[in-house]
């Protein structure tokens, strides 16, 4: 299930070496690292927890769905497309909602509705006005569950965008290395990321770089830096490696289906520059693809384990071509967002 919010109430039913087995609802179990668990004997488990009224509203940038609950219950979320929806399942919750107030200040949310999909699993469905998912975050304010939804920007020009660019690895984390020359991934991801930064700044976009020099930054730290920068979307640059030295080409990766289009447009644009296709990869379990807060795309430019690709990666002109093609892909993606109303 990956992410669990802080302060969620769970019942422990069993234990393994490193994990607690916890009960989310009657029919759903999960494993939680023991280091992330804190026993609280003041909490008395109830036989059921109810949902109460909802409020749907917005401010100048986000829409919000507020759901009052009896307790901080575990949840999971999904992105659906065609039409675009966000689905949130709240475990251990039974519906007592008979009042959903919807205000005009909510601009991206088209409809919200509830469904009791199991005795104690409560489903919240949020229909969006645009095809493209721009991201959302879910958190508790006291015992109110809040789903905060980023609207599609009205101005979809590149100069209105703030783009996070991540150069993979760095410092004591070398990444992979070149098959013939032994060059290190961390140095070339930085060179390419810097070219991408330059190409974006040339188009008057705003850029946030996770690193601009050879330094060690962990995945949690990177994610927190990017979230704090509040970008419109993220591009992470890596170089690939395979045990088979014949494998080559460019690939892009996404985790959630709603963020797929950005990765498709970037791949298509890279292929126009004559790169070999490795493919577009979904459900990818890469830490920086994990956040739902903003669209994100991992670009594995080429394979350092392939001689021909390595030669390309060594060429500074190639870095410029990659940067230009990523920017062109982003532009095509933004163009596609303009015409896509649900």
Rank residues 32 and 192 by Cβ distance to Zn ion and give the closer one.
Answer: 192
Rank residues 116 and 173 by Cβ distance to Zn ion and give the closer one.
Answer: 173
The torsion angles phi and psi of 255, rounded to 5 degrees, stand at: -105, -50
What residue number has its CB nearest to Zn ion?
238
For the sheet containing 19-25, what is the strand order?
Answer: 11-15, 19-25, 28-33
- Residue 230 Cβ vs Zn ion, minimum distance, rounded to whole Å: 25
- Residue 14 Cβ vs Zn ion, minimum distance, rounded to whole Å: 36
Rank residues 133 and 319 by Cβ distance to Zn ion and give the closer one.
Answer: 319
Rank residues 121 and 184 by Cβ distance to Zn ion and give the closer one.
Answer: 184
- Residue 185 Cβ vs Zn ion, minimum distance, rounded to whole Å: 5
Q: In the range 166-185, which residues lie near Zn ion by CB under 5 A?
A: 168, 175
Residue 222: half-sphere exposure toward Cβ, Cα within 13 Å: 25
**How does strand 250-253 pair with strand 277-281?**
parallel
- Residue 334 Cβ vs Zn ion, minimum distance, rounded to whole Å: 27
Rank residues 58 and 168 by Cβ distance to Zn ion and give the closer one.
Answer: 168
What Cα–Cα distance (Å) separates residue 164 from each residue in 18, 116, 137, 182, 236? 35, 38, 18, 29, 8
Q: Does the footprint of Zn ion cover residue 133 (CB under 5 A)?
A: no
Number of shown-chain residues binding Zn ion (CB under 5 A): 3
Beta strands in the chain (DSSP E): 11-15, 19-25, 28-33, 49-58, 62-69, 75-80, 85-91, 93-94, 100-102, 109-118, 121-128, 136-141, 144-150, 162-167, 206-209, 233-240, 250-253, 277-281, 296-303
SS3 category, 119: coil
Rank residues 25 and 251 by Cβ distance to Zn ion and give the closer one.
Answer: 251
Among 72, 129, 151, 238, binds Zn ion (CB under 5 A): 238
- Residue 238 Cβ vs Zn ion, minimum distance, rounded to whole Å: 4
Q: Does the footprint of Zn ion cover residue 249 (CB under 5 A)?
A: no
By CB under 5 A, which span of 3-11, 93-101, 199-207, 231-239 interacts with Zn ion?
Answer: 231-239
d(CA 308, CA 249): 10
Binding site for Zn ion (CB under 5 A): 168, 175, 238
């Amino acid at each position: 299930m990956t992410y669990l919010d802080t302060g969620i109430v769970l019942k422990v039913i069993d234990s393994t070496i490193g994990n607690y087995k916890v009960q989310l609802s009657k029919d759903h179990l999960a494993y939680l690292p023991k280091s992330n668990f804190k026993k609280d004997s003041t909490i008395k488990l109830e036989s059921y927890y109810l949902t109460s009224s909802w409020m749907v509203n917005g401010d100048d940038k986000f829409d919000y769905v507020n759901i009052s609950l009896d307790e901080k219950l575990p949840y999971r979320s999904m992105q659906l497309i065609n039409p675009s929806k966000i689905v949130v399942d709240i475990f251990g919750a039974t519906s007592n909602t008979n009042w959903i107030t919807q205000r005009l200040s909510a601009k991206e949310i088209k409809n919200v509705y509830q469904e009791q999909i199991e005795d104690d699993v409560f489903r919240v469905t949020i229909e969006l006005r645009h095809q493209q998912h721009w991201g959302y975050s879910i958190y508790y304010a006291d015992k109110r569950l809040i789903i905060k939804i980023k609207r599609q920007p009205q101005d979809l020009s590149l100069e209105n965008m703030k783009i996070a660019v991540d150069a993979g690895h760095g410092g004591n984390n070398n990444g992979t290395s070149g098959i013939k020359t032994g060059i290190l991934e961390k140095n070339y991801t930085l060179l390419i990321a810097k070219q991408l930064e330059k190409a974006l700044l040339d188009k008057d976009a705003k850029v946030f770089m996770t690193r601009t020099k050879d330094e060690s930054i962990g995945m949690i730290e990177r994610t927190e830096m990017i979230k704090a920068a509040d970008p419109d979307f993220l591009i992470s640059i890596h170089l690939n490696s395979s045990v088979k030295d014949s494998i080559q080409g460019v690939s892009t990766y996404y985790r959630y289906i709603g963020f797929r289009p950005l990765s498709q447009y970037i791949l298509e644009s890279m292929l126009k520059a004559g790169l070999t296709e490795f493919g577009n990869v979904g459900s990818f379990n890469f830490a920086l693809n994990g956040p739902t807060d903003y669209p994100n795309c991992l670009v594995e430019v080429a394979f350092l384990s392939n001689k021909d690709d390595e030669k390309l990666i060594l060429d500074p002109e190639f870095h410029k071509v990659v940067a230009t093609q990523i920017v062109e892909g982003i532009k095509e993606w933004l163009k596609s967002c303009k015409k896509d109303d649900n």
